[in-house]
Amino acid sequence: MSWSEKVALVTGGAQSIGAAIADGLAAAGATVVVGDLNPTDAHESLTLDVSDEASVEAAVAQVVDTHGRLDIVVNNAGIMFEESVADHDRATWDRMLAINLTGPMLLTKHAAAHLAKNNGGGSIVNVGSIEGDRCNPHHAAYAATKSGVHGLTRATAIDLGPMNIRCNAVAPGWIDTPLNASYVDSHPDRELVIDELAKLHPIGRVGAPSDVADVVVWLAGDESRFVTGQVITIDGGRTVRPPLPGILS
């Protein structure tokens, strides 16, 4: 299928990595619909709360009613907060789980029948994290949900493969997002932080949202037609190099 025939729904696509993914799919030629709690003028958009099953079902129906098909789903919407597991409030834990993990499951559930109708098959891309395999302090809920996203990706690939639906995930590392930028900007020596972050990466820099988007577009398209059940790490090589004490490195 040509990209011009494809219709994509991107959750959390109003900003940051999600916006870059939406832009990348549109640049490839796809019709892009952004599902987000916040509207965007960059693409067609609809209001979507991924933690609410009725909202998810209505969003999928709206896309199909408007465009007659759905070919690509990108489960990007997510939140992150820092809280020690010893201090976790049940409500904050449940909120992280509902948005980061239950949301992708719900959208996969309601999109599957429509993705399966397409002659070229459907593609689901989930946005996980390197913290799905390793963890920073006070990120218990975030890491747990991203590990769950990786597991959901593999299970979905198995369950929906016979329906000609592929499911893959990306696991970004440190990406220059507004959230990470605010963290860097809050440090007394911002330039030192930027320099030290770059040194963590063999490639010599932190990632940009477009670095993630380019891989998502590939996974969403026909060029990756024999790839499914995979979690592709996008971290500039950060996680393949074991850390050394400063005196040795």
- Residues with catalytic roles: 142
Number of C-beta neighbours around residue 223 at 10 A: 10
Overall size of the chain counted in residues: 249
Q: Between 53-67 and 103-115, two packed helices, what is the crossing angle to 10 degrees?
A: 30
Residue 156 backbone phi and psi in degrees, to 5:
-65, -40
- Taking the CA of residue 154 as centre, how many other CA atoms within 13 Å lie in the half-sphere pointing to its CB? 8
Q: Residue with structure tokens 């990756």?
A: 224
d(C-alpha 216, C-alpha 80), whole Å: 21
Backbone angles phi, psi at 202, to 5 degrees: -55, -30
CA distances from 133 to 38, 108, 173 (A): 30, 22, 11
At position 135, the amino acid (one-letter code) is C
